[in-house]
Amino acid sequence: MAFLRWILRLLTLLIVSHSVCVLFYYTPNTHSSREVMRDTLQRLHCAKLRRKFSIITDTKSLNMKTFTQELGDFLNCPYKPNMTEQELNRLSLQFLCNATGSLFHTKRNTAVNQSIPYETSATQTYTMNAAIHSMLPEDFPWSGRRLGRCAVVGSGGILKNSSCGREIDSADFVIRFNLALINDSDVGLKTDLITVNPTQIRREFNNMEQNPDPLVERVSVYGNASLAIPAFAYTFCTGLSIRTLKVLHPIRPQQPVVFFSPIYLRTLDRLWKGRGLKSVRLSSGFLLINTALELCEDVHVYGFWPFDTDLQDNPIPYHYYDQLRPHPYMHKMSEEFVRLLQLHSQGALTLHLQPCPSETH
Ligand SMILES: *[C@@H]1O[C@H](CO)[C@@H](O)[C@H](O)[C@H]1NC(C)=O
Ligand SMILES: *[C@@H]1O[C@H](CO)[C@@H](O)[C@H](O)[C@H]1NC(C)=O
Ligand SMILES: *[C@@H]1O[C@H](CO)[C@@H](O)[C@H](O)[C@H]1NC(C)=O
Ligand SMILES: *[C@@H]1O[C@H](CO)[C@@H](O)[C@H](O)[C@H]1NC(C)=O
Ligand SMILES: *[C@@H]1O[C@H](CO)[C@@H](O)[C@H](O)[C@H]1NC(C)=O
Ligand SMILES: *[C@@H]1O[C@H](CO)[C@@H](O)[C@H](O)[C@H]1NC(C)=O
């Protein structure tokens, strides 16, 4: 009886994973049927991992050893994008948060004398004046059209020695963070949007009015990429962001300094809190992956791996270019990571956690 039940279960599993036909097609000799058996088991394993990772929502119960092993296996499974899932994500993000029309303040979506709220304060506001308004960009860099393949490049040490530069540079639109260093071999050079952290401005370029050269040199590396600052996240951010805009606007007019809309940041934050993501604020990485899910046809995510060892258990640095860590209170990187893994399993985006295929083959 128990045996029969076991057989039934196995049959159901085979049918569920659509592999049963393959089993019947190829049975002329034992060699190929063994191969088919291995194939079938492999598919079952992949389907099981896909199910497991598509419902994962927190890291508390995670055993790192089995997690990385299973994740490694899963990443070697064939990847299937799910257009329906991508379209559903795009529509709900556009409806609820609207990066398309309100990711940044532009001359079009913001009026002179408009009162701008703060992301993190219910009482304070900033009144947009004519001088600052005249330095806002006319429109978004994508101005209404949908972006094609986007690469969102985090700063994870997992990118070291990855050889992913070529692949990243071949994307239509590349997003980076916190003025991260770039180079052709591992992380690529192409940049269309890069975030600037006000704390970093204060730490490294506080003397920018007297001597703009270090800041100008640092940002020139990214060509004409937009420099995105969360000017209205906290009140301390506004002065630093406006000073940066005033210094760079006359010197590098082709490289817009843009301010994130606090309303966009706030609605996205609420959306994910509503989905049970526990963090004080979303990291800028997670934030712009969501933006890409709305704006891009196809989202590829690199360098998002908040753990100390890679999938083969080798130690890796936290960032590929320095050892700074995020504030443990502010962001919950590992909680965000499992949400990305969930999106990957659902076919909504592609996570890249392994070295990129080399050109020589
Ligand atoms: C694709 O996503 C949709 C919406 O979540 C889901 O109903 C469907 O089963 C998925 N398709 C596949 C092949 O996984
Ligand atoms: C998004 O914002 C733009 C500009 O403010 C607006 O025209 C558009 O209707 C908004 N879209 C949605 C879905 O709310
Ligand atoms: C903005 O406010 C100032 C001062 O109240 C006023 O002089 C100016 O006309 C206003 N500008 C616009 C475009 O409303
Ligand atoms: C950057 O902008 C300048 C001025 O608009 C333009 O001449 C140049 O070709 C642009 N460079 C790139 C790499 O797009
Ligand atoms: C990258 O490669 C270099 C040279 O092969 C090696 O010394 C270094 O340990 C590697 N770093 C990582 C993080 O894999
Ligand atoms: C590219 O950057 C990575 C990470 O900083 C570094 O390990 C690598 O040596 C750099 N490669 C080149 C060609 O500069």
39, part of any domain? no
Indicate the number of domains in the chain. Answer: 1
pLDDT per position as a tens digit, 105-137: 999 999 999 999 999 998 999 999 999 999 999
CA 281: distance to chain centroid?
A: 15
| 331 catalytic per annotation | yes
Q: Could you tell me the pLDDT band of residue 26, with boundaries at 50, 70 and 90?
A: very low
Residue to mutate, 93, 94, 97, 100, ligand 2, most ligand atoms under 8 Å from C-beta? 100
Domain annotation covers residue 58: no
pLDDT value, residue 170: 97
Assigned domain for 323 exists: yes
Instruction: List the structure tokens of 54.
Output: 């598509």
Is residue 65 in some structural domain? no
Retrieve residue 12's tokens.
Answer: 């159901």
Residue 161 structure tokens: 């020695």
What gap in Å lies between CA 73 and CA 349, rounded to an integer? 18
pLDDT in tens, 55-64: 887 777 778 8
Task: Tell me: pLDDT of 7 over 70.
Answer: no
Give me the chain's average pLDDT, please: 88
At residue 361, the pLDDT reads 44
- For the Cβ of 302 lying below 6 angstroms from any atom of ligand 6, the answer is no
CA 292 to centroid of ligand 1, rounded, Å: 20
Q: Find the helix packing angle between 284-295 and 262-274, rounded to 10°.
A: 90
Question: Residue 339: which CATH number?
Answer: 3.90.1480.20
Evaluate if residue 5 carries a pLDDT over 60: no
| Ligand 1 pocket: which of 51, 53, 85 to mutate (most atoms within 8 A of CB) | 85
- Could you tell me if residue 1 is inside a domain? no
Q: How many other C-beta atoms are found inside a 10 Å radius of the C-beta of residue 146?
A: 11
Please determine, for residue 300, whether its predicted confidence score (pLDDT) is greater than 60.
yes
H/E stretch holding 299 reads: strand 296-302
Per-position DSSP letters for 171-233, written without gaps between them: SSEEEE-TT---BTTTTBS--SEEE--HHHHHHH-TTTTT--HHHHHHHHTTTT-EEEE-TTS
Out of 105, 331, 344, 352, the active site residue is 331
What pLDDT does 321 receive? 84
321 lines ligand 6 (CB under 6 A): yes
Residue 124 CB less than 6 A away from ligand 1: no
Cα dihedral 185, 189, 192, 196, rounded to 10, equals 90
Q: Residue 32 is encoded by which pair of tokens?
A: 């190929």
Is residue 208 within 8 A of residue 247, CB to CB? The reply is yes
User: What are the strands, taking DSSP E only, across 8-160?
Assistant: 115-118, 121-127, 147-153
Which tokens hold the place of 201? 């401005």
Give tens-digit pLDDT for 51-109.
999 888 777 777 888 899 999 999 999 988 999 999 999 999 999 999 999 999 999 99
- Alpha-helical runs (H) found in the chain: 2-16, 20-25, 30-54, 64-75, 83-96, 99-102, 130-133, 165-169, 198-204, 213-220, 235-251, 262-274, 284-295, 333-345
Looking at residues 194-213, what average pLDDT do you find? 96
Q: 85 CB less than 6 Å from ligand 1?
A: yes
Phi-psi label, residue 72: left if phi above 0, alpha if psi -120 to 50, beta otherwise = alpha
Query: Which protein residue has the closest C-alpha to ligand 3 atom 13?
Result: 112
Residue 338 CB neighbour total at 10 angstroms: 18
pLDDT tens digits for 258-287? 999 999 999 999 999 999 888 778 999 999
In a domain, 158, yes or no: yes
> pLDDT grade, residue 298 (50/70/90)?
very high
Ligand 2 pocket residue status of 102, Cβ below 6 Å: yes
- What separation in Å is there between the alpha carbon of 286 and the centre of ligand 4? 29
Rounded average pLDDT over 29-33? 70
Chain-centroid distance of CA 324 in Å reads 19
Which domain, by its residues, includes 203? 81-352
Q: Is residue 290 part of a domain?
A: yes
Band the pLDDT of 19: cuts 50, 70, 90.
Answer: very low
What is the pLDDT at residue 60?
73
Contact residues for 204 (Cβ-Cβ < 8 A; gap 6+) = 214, 218
Q: Report the C-alpha gap between 86 and 245 in whole angstroms.
A: 35
Residue at 148 is within a domain: yes
CB 253 within 8 A of CB 305: no
Distances (CA, A) of 172 to 147, 233, 237: 7, 29, 31
pLDDT for the residue numbered 313? 87
Residue with tokens 């009015």: 209
User: How far does residue 335's CA lie from ligand 5's centre (Å)?
Assistant: 28
Ligand in closest contact with the CA of 87:
1
| Amino acid, res. 187 | V
